[in-house]
Copies of this chain bind each other. A is one copy, B any other.
């Protein structure tokens, strides 16, 4: 139950960033806690997920989802506790996954939340390995990447919740997993997770290291960054290689097209010469057909320790803008979560 003295801290989009977002693009306000309408529940946020896709929502440019309006709350998946319910399907005290946004309280339709069982796994995993990032990895790799035993799978941002899951799933499928991350600590973590090779993209000889780590070429490249990693990967893709594309975080802050030459035709020639498949996707496409199986399989793998995960938890909603700005620069180490 909420009391009249409580307020709802919210982080709003104040302005659309040009290039890298700054703290000034966000506005932190305190407003009354909302009242749930019929069919809604009031959820008090415990954990809030920060993900690269949110950079796209801050822009007015066309993307795969509508932009967040100026003055609106920043979007986010959240885990929280039901503190008021006006729907028979949920009770006060239930822990749920919601799309509550960057705020302490959200009134949301009950049919848009999913009740979590805290006995199965820590509930914060519903934002990571057992949530949207984990499902992005699962659907993109298994439905689109289709790694075969002995093939080589490469993924960047590999200590992030998507990349780390991609690499571990590749191993489960019998493939060789090569992870790319920034800095020696992250590289060491990839080896702990069971990647066959781990490469620091900051190394001066990154391209040579990638070649050494992929002696048989690359059969699946799970694209979530773009930029220099993609440039190094493209010439090493094998005949019939698959490239699921779920993110391009290296480009999200670009304000104009990079200088020439124009390499877009060369990219298409690679596609032709190697019979490549490049396939963009958003995980929602695969929810109806694959999400139940994902929850069952991934839940078991996480419980049994076959798939590990790492969380990077930052306390306090007021720290969300700075943490998000760091996420776009690769400063997080594991799934970035704000704890309220």
Residue numbers of A with Cβ under 8 A of B are 62-64, 223, 226-227, 230, 240, 245-248, 251, 254, 256-282, 285
Contact = CB atoms under 8 A, between A and B. Distances in A.
B277 A278 contact: yes
A269 B251 contact: yes
A262 B262 contact: yes
A265 to B, nearest CB: 5
12 contacts: A64-B275, A248-B265, A256-B261, A257-B263, A258-B262, A259-B260, A260-B260, A264-B267, A270-B280, A271-B280, A275-B279, A275-B282
Given A257-B260, A262-B263, 4 more contacts: A223-B268, A256-B261, A273-B280, A277-B280
Contacts of A268: 223, 226, 230, 245, 248, 251, 278
A121 B188 CA distance: 66
A247 B230 CA distance: 23
A264 to B, nearest CB: 4
Contacts of A259: 260-262
Contacts of A281: 275
Contacts of A247: 272
Given A277-B278, A277-B279, A279-B277, A64 B262 contact: no
Nearest to A231: B264
A331 B228 CA distance: 40
Contacts of A282: 275
Contacts of A276: 278-280
A251 B269 CA distance: 9
A265 B230 CA distance: 10
A291 to B, nearest CB: 17
Contacts of A226: 265, 268
A92 to B, nearest CB: 39
A83 to B, nearest CB: 37
Given A245-B272, A279-B276, A285-B275, A261 B263 contact: no
A240 B276 CA distance: 17
A315 B275 CA distance: 35
Contacts of A223: 268
Given A226-B268, A273-B64, A277-B279, A258 B257 contact: no
A223 to B, nearest CB: 8
Contact of A264 (B240, B246, B262, B285): B262
Contact of A64 (B62, B264, B274): B274
